[in-house]
Amino acid sequence: MGKTLVEKILSVKSETEAKAGNIIIANVDLVFAHETTGPLAIRQFQAAGFKDVASSLKAVLFIDHGVPSPAWQLSNDHMLLRRFAQETGCLLSDIGDGICHQIVAESLAKPGDLVVGADSHTVTAGGIGAFACGMGSSDIAIVFGVGKTWLRVPESIRIMVSGKFAHGVYAKDLILHLIGQIGADGATYKALEFSGDALNNISIPERLTIANMAVEAGAKVGLFTSDNVTKAYLTALGRSDQYQQIIPDHDAVYEKTININLDDLEPVVAKPHSVDNIAPARELKNIKIQQVLIGTCTNGRLDDLAIAAKILKGKKHHPQTRLLVGPASRGVLLAAIEAGYIQTLIDAGAVILPPGCGPCLGLHQGALGTGEACLSTANRNFKARMGNPEGFIYLSSPATAAATAITGEITDPREVI
Amino acid sequence: MLKGKAFKFGNGISTDDIIPGRFAHLRSNLPELAKHVMADAAPTFITNVKPGDFFVAGSNLGLGSSREHAPLVIKMAGASAILAKSVARIFFRNAINVGLPVLLCDTDGIKDGDELEINLIAGTILDLTTGNQLTFDKIPEIMHRILNEGGLLPYIQKHGDYKL
Ligand code: SF4
């Protein structure tokens, strides 16, 4: 019987014939935490009696969630991470470098890796063919110490993608559509594996957006094949030596297959307060938006800023709508400056935030006022997420967000492009 | 045998409901952080819960962030077990790792305030208020062993590594 992508990767990592349903102990390639989950992980690591980080690992600490620090308590947590990195020799990614998931995809993870991070959106690296999943601080602490973790090999749900994105429709619309279809717990404990001819036209940045939100359907991992698109991406970054092709066997067994024809999709929005509460953008015309956020680990990449800049070029944001833009990493910011996108966005009235999570988790920057609505390109719209339990969060693609920034109410981007 | 009162919540209680992100600066001060458990969703929980009580929810409990602080503050508030129809993956693992039992069962019949008696070994839940008896699902063997040691830290302190 053939293997799914999941079974292929986890067989190598566990040195067993990993089959869906098995419990395995697997060797981890890359482990990370950040300043909101790392301090507890470090304390657990020390309490368990570990001194050194397992030598087989690439281990990284990120300071990206509250940067620059908004509060002394968090500054102390930043200090703790810096000190631990210095003492153990693990890598440190400090303020201004960018969001962990972006940096992991840009420069740290490679196809076939087992990546675990103390953050639920660790799944993002599934876009480049790594088995990547989020865990809590204690699990991560033990990985830092022993270089291994236990996993239940998940059953895979195959998402067969055909067709081509229509004008104004993007990867974000695909994943929002899918979550709307299967629900916020539609893939709990399962893997989502993306397949089909259409993948040839879905770039790595787009795959990262899709994989990033696999967890919003409860999935353990959102996994893409490692193919020519992956190879081209790694080559452009000077990392061609890290490429290996990983495709599922033709007779692999899936729990089920869901077909998505890209031609049938249209711009959609997730309405408050759950990610599976999906509606077409065109049906939400009269909903006024006080804040637009373009950024986060879901849609803060160069392509996203390019789409936003194209729509906002020569225009101004609506006077009642604030526009915040957060590049996902320093690399993205520099490239966006060079391409002129940042100039265009500032001319349109955008506030440029430092690379990092920004307002996404409500820790600092851009907290919503009571009763205010935000259209965000992030991945979560839970109540209280952006700092105020009385705020309303809508999620969309960067194109829908940019169009909305101009009109001040939720707008189907096809009306302005 | 565990005995206590049920605090009943709905479906889709996220980790942002359990401990909102705006309190992230308190995560290195757990006693302070724990005062804000369910701060927006059920602000009276923290004032009314007593040691040994139960946190009872519907489906997809704990979706969202990987913050282990979510089950940790539920435990620190005094809850001795979590009962839910279904639980999000990372939250499930985190709860076991902090030594908080997760009992997957049909919670529809349990009302807020019901007195429950739970036999972890027999796998039964008796609702003393209604007289209803429920059973709960078994968890994977490795999670069971971690829970039996009181959580992941004591498990690793004892074994040094994972054992299948
Ligand atoms: S951008 Fe938002 S979702 Fe992504 S890692 Fe940061 S806080 Fe989490």
Report yes or no on B164 lying in a domain: no
Q: What is the pLDDT of residues A242-272, one digit of tens each?
A: 999 999 999 999 999 999 999 999 999 999 9
- Give yes or no for residue A35 CB within 6 A of ligand 1: no
Write the CA distances from B99 to A117, B37, B138, integer angstroms: 21, 18, 16
Q: Which residue of A has its CA nearest to B139?
A: A152
Contact B22 A65 (CB under 8 A): no
Tokens at residue A362, please?
């409500």
Q: How far apart are CA B73 and CA A94, in angstroms?
A: 28
3-state secondary structure of A23: strand
Q: List chain A residues with CB under 8 Å of B64.
A: 120, 380, 382
Query: Hey, what CATH topology would domain A5-261 get?
Result: Aconitase; domain 3 (3.30.499)
C-beta of A119 in contact with ligand 1 (< 6 A): yes
Q: For residue range A103-123, list pLDDT tens digits in order.
A: 999 999 999 999 999 999 999
- CB atoms inside a 10 Å sphere around CB A386: 31
CB pairs A-B closer than 8 Å: 148
CA A133 to the chain's CA centroid? 11
Nearest to B2 by CA among B76, B64, B82: B82
Nearest C-alpha neighbor of A343 from the set A352, A355, A356:
A352
Question: Kind of pairing, strands A392-395 and A373-376?
Answer: parallel
Cα-to-centroid distance, B159 and ligand 1 (Å): 34
Helix ranges, A15-136 (H): 38-47, 72-88, 100-103
Position B61 pLDDT exceeds 90: yes
Domain extent for B6:
2-159
- The span from the CA of A106 to the CA of A176, in Å, is 24
Whose CA is closest to B127, among B112, B110, B113?
B110
- Taking the Cβ of residue A21 and every Cβ of chain B, the question of whether any pair is shorter than 8 Å is answered with no
Q: Answer whether B80 touches A (CB < 8 Å).
A: no
The pLDDT of residue A390 is 96
Average pLDDT over residues B111-130: 97
Query: B-contacting residues of A 225-254, CB under 8 Å?
Result: none
Closest Cβ–Cβ partner in A146, A184, A361 for B63? A184
CB atoms A145 and B40 under 8 Å: no
Q: How many CB atoms lie within 10 A of CB A213?
A: 29
Domain coordinates in residue numbering, chain A: 5-261, 268-412
Distance A258 CA to ligand 1 centre (A): 28
Overall fold of domain A268-412: Aconitase; domain 3 (3.30.499)
Phi, psi for residue A376 in degrees, rounded to 5:
-125, 150
For every residue of A146-158, DSSP letters joined together read: HSEEEEEPPPEEE
* CATH at B147: 3.20.19.10
Summary mean pLDDT of chain A: 97
Residue B26: DSSP 8-state: G
Does residue B164 surpass a pLDDT of 90? no
Residue A78 in this model has a pLDDT that exceeds 90: yes
From residue A159, alpha-carbon distances to A162, A170, A222, A260 in Å are: 10, 16, 10, 7
Mean pLDDT on A167-176: 98
Answer for the pair A312, A348: CB distance below 8 angstroms, yes or no.
Answer: yes
Mean pLDDT of chain B: 96
Q: What is the complex's ipTM, to 2 decimals?
A: 0.96
**pLDDT, tens digit, 9 for 90 and up, residues A178-229:** 999 999 999 999 999 999 999 999 999 999 999 999 999 999 999 999 999 9
Residue with the smallest CA separation from ligand 1 atom 6 is A357
Please choose, from the candidates B105, B107, B101, the residue with its C-alpha nearest in 3D space to the C-alpha of residue B80: B101
Count CB neighbours of A95 within 10 A: 17
For A123, the closest chain B residue by CA position comes to B66
**DSSP run (H or E) holding A31:** strand A30-34
d(CA A79, CA A76): 5
Tokens representing A72?
A: 């002394």
> ∠ CA(B66), CA(A153), CA(B137), 5° rounding?
75
> What pLDDT sits at residue A245?
98
Please give the structure tokens belonging to residue B127: 């609702």
Is B90 strand, coil or helix? helix
Split into its structural domains, chain B has a count of 1
Strand (E) positions, A281-321?
291-295
CB pair distance less than 8 Å for A139 and B152? yes
Q: What average pLDDT does range A8-22 have in this prediction?
A: 98
